[in-house]
Amino acid sequence: MSKYETGLGRDAANHQPLTPLLFMERSARVYPGTLAVVHGAVRRNYGELRDRCVKLAHALTKRGIGRGDTVAAVLPNIPEMLECHYGVPMAGAVLNTINTRLDAATIAYILDHGEAKALIVDREFMPAVRLALLQATVKPLIIEVDDPLAPEAARAETLGGVPYDALLAEGDASFAWPMPADEWDAITLNYTSGTTGKPKGVVYHHRGAHLLAVGNVLSAEMVKHPTYLWTLPMFHCNGWCFPWTVTAQAGVHVCLRAVRGADMWRLMAEEGVTNMCGAPIVMATLLTTPEPDKRALSKQVKFIVAGAPPPEAVLAAMQAAGFAVCHVYGLTECYGPSVVNEWHGEWNAKPTGEQAALMARQGVRYLALEGLDVMDPATMQPVPADGRTLGEVMMQGNVVMKGYLKDEAATGAAFKGGWFHTGDLAVKYPDGYIQLKDRSKDIIISGGENISSIEVEDALYKHPAVAVVAVVARPDEKWGETPCAFIELKPGATATAEELIAFAKQHMAGFKVPRHVVFAELPKTSTGKIQKHVLRSQAKET
């Protein structure tokens, strides 16, 4: 043993588990009187918020819920959801946030697979939860949230569970909650959307949650005391870890039950919002808000977008409206965003179109992600940085999940060769920035040639009448597959299929041009992602 390894071991004095839970204790200690959370008439400071979290932890502990137990939550972006991100792991338990738009069968599957011991539910979502509980095997303790801002009709719903506030009253704010035994301990459980097969349970640990939460501060250039508008669902990758990020910076969590234009503009103006996150659909909602409902912004709002690159026109409109847009990329498996389009100041001098093209790239690794590359999954060799050769996006680092719950085979496959296989296909440019070309399963193979559905979509987005477009593979006897475009037109705009096909021909090689164009409202997930698997089924019948 070297001299640097003798008598220099880990000790409580010099080694503590990394955890985001201490962020709450610190902000409550340093800034107890500072505003922490806003929800309608509710305004609580950090002292009050911290005490509610610890009471929740204590109440759960007293009811026998602890280390290794799962607490599920079906909640919108309300204060109780934020409290769960601290209170549940402060009890040693694992928070499983469930997408509020899921059907009863999927909720039942998740409750059973995660072995939920408790379920915290907002009354608006009780109809689906009630059905789910009838189908599920587990019998979790039901905790009911009666939010005054919930739809009036929903507030009569009950499953006869413990009211959330009554549960809190069972807890003591002086409870000395236990630190995680190890930073590798699970903190949350997030089920993938499961477009194919059963959803998989992605397990996050305290170490990764701490590191990504702090990484967000750097990527968002977030100064102290930000005011954060909760447009991104907390059930989605734990809101990209922002429940911990905003608290680390002693910022204000401005809650929002539903992403509605007028509400967002009002809260931005009234609360002085500085940061928000979301899919491009949130930007679209902001921009298409009727003028009388829009408000003047007193400061620039930083908008972090993911899910799809922001289209050029949207980008320009957002900038004109006073937003600074930052494009990030990630997956449930990497705690939300782990790749960021780091912007170079000199790019601001380029023409708008070029800027949009640069911003469409997903970018480079977060400081908190140790490795990012585009590789041939067969050889695990990086593709050339030529902006053309397709490969699979691979990640390596501390903000990659602990693994899939109770699914060693899937975990092993995802981590084959010591890298996390994202399933996303991309190219790498000479400057090292990556750009997604498709999901592995979204690529269209026509006459043996790969067609990136994103590339075809990008071209069609340039047509002035097109609002939203998604291109998927349609089975074809001769070519194997051909591209089929599903299109939403802008309000009041018109265009025919022939017109759009002719337009596409001017912008891409002939074999990439969609053979079919369908005008329809596109099916989207609650986070604004277009559900291509649904479109693929529809394309077969076209």
> Could you say whether residue 248 binds a second copy (CB under 8 A)?
yes
537, 482 Cβ separation under 8 angstroms = no
If DSSP codes are grouped into helix, strand and coil, which group holds residue 434? Answer: strand
Alpha carbons 256 and 39: distance in angstroms, whole number: 7
Question: Which CB atom, from 70 or from 527, has the smaller least distance to a second copy?
Answer: 70
Distances (CA, A) of 83 to 90, 140, 257, 294: 10, 19, 15, 31
**Which position among 353, 371, 384, 475 is part of the footprint of a second copy (CB under 8 A)?**
371
Q: How many CB atoms lie within 10 A of CB 32?
A: 15
> Could you say whether residue 413 binds a second copy (CB under 8 A)?
no
**Which position among 40, 43, 64, 68 is part of the footprint of a second copy (CB under 8 A)?**
68
Six token digits for residue 76: 């919108």
The helix, strand and coil proportions of the chain, stated in percent and rounded to the nearest 5, come to 35, 25, 40
Query: Of 301, 311, 256, whose CA–CA distance to 280 is shortest?
Result: 311
Six token digits for residue 267: 């809260």
Chain centroid offset of residue 117 CA: 25
User: Interaction with a second copy in 330-369: which residues (CB under 8 A)?
Assistant: 342, 344-345, 364-365, 367
Six token digits for residue 277: 């996150």
> Could you say whether residue 291 binds a second copy (CB under 8 A)?
no
**Which position among 40, 148, 384, 432 is part of the footprint of a second copy (CB under 8 A)?**
432
Chain centroid offset of residue 162 CA: 30
**Which position among 293, 370, 386, 499 is part of the footprint of a second copy (CB under 8 A)?**
370
**Which position among 45, 192, 389, 396 is part of the footprint of a second copy (CB under 8 A)?**
396
Candidates 166-174, 255-263, 274-282, 397-405 — which segment interacts with a second copy by CB under 8 A? Answer: 397-405
Question: Which CB atom, from 35 or from 281, has the smaller least distance to a second copy?
Answer: 35
> Could you say whether residue 329 binds a second copy (CB under 8 A)?
no
**Which position among 49, 102, 129, 395 is part of the footprint of a second copy (CB under 8 A)?**
395
Q: Can you say whether residue 278 is alpha, beta or left, with left for phi > 0 and alpha for psi between -120 and 50 degrees?
A: left
> Could you say whether residue 478 binds a second copy (CB under 8 A)?
no
User: Interaction with a second copy in 22-61: which residues (CB under 8 A)?
Assistant: 22-23, 26, 29-32
> Could you say whether residue 115 binds a second copy (CB under 8 A)?
yes
Candidates 4-12, 136-144, 482-490, 515-523 — which segment interacts with a second copy by CB under 8 A? Answer: 4-12
In the complex, the smallest distance separating the C-beta of residue 486 from a second copy, rounded to whole angstroms, is 35
Alpha carbons 283 and 318: distance in angstroms, whole number: 7
Question: Which CB atom, from 14 or from 348, has the smaller least distance to a second copy?
Answer: 14
In the complex, the smallest distance separating the C-beta of residue 4 from a second copy, rounded to whole angstroms, is 4
Parallel, antiparallel, or unpaired for β 381-382 and 371-376? antiparallel
Query: Of 414, 21, 402, whose CA–CA distance to 186 is shortest?
Result: 402
In the complex, the smallest distance separating the C-beta of residue 369 from a second copy, rounded to whole angstroms, is 9
Six token digits for residue 523: 């099916």
If DSSP codes are grouped into helix, strand and coil, which group holds residue 205? Answer: strand
> Could you say whether residue 15 binds a second copy (CB under 8 A)?
yes
> Could you say whether residue 186 binds a second copy (CB under 8 A)?
yes
485, 508 Cβ separation under 8 angstroms = no
Binding site for a second copy (CB under 8 A): 2-16, 18, 22-23, 26, 29-32, 67-68, 94, 115, 184-186, 203, 208, 211, 214, 217-218, 221, 223-225, 248-249, 342, 344-345, 364-365, 367, 370-371, 395-398, 400-403, 405-408, 411, 414-415, 418-420, 431-432
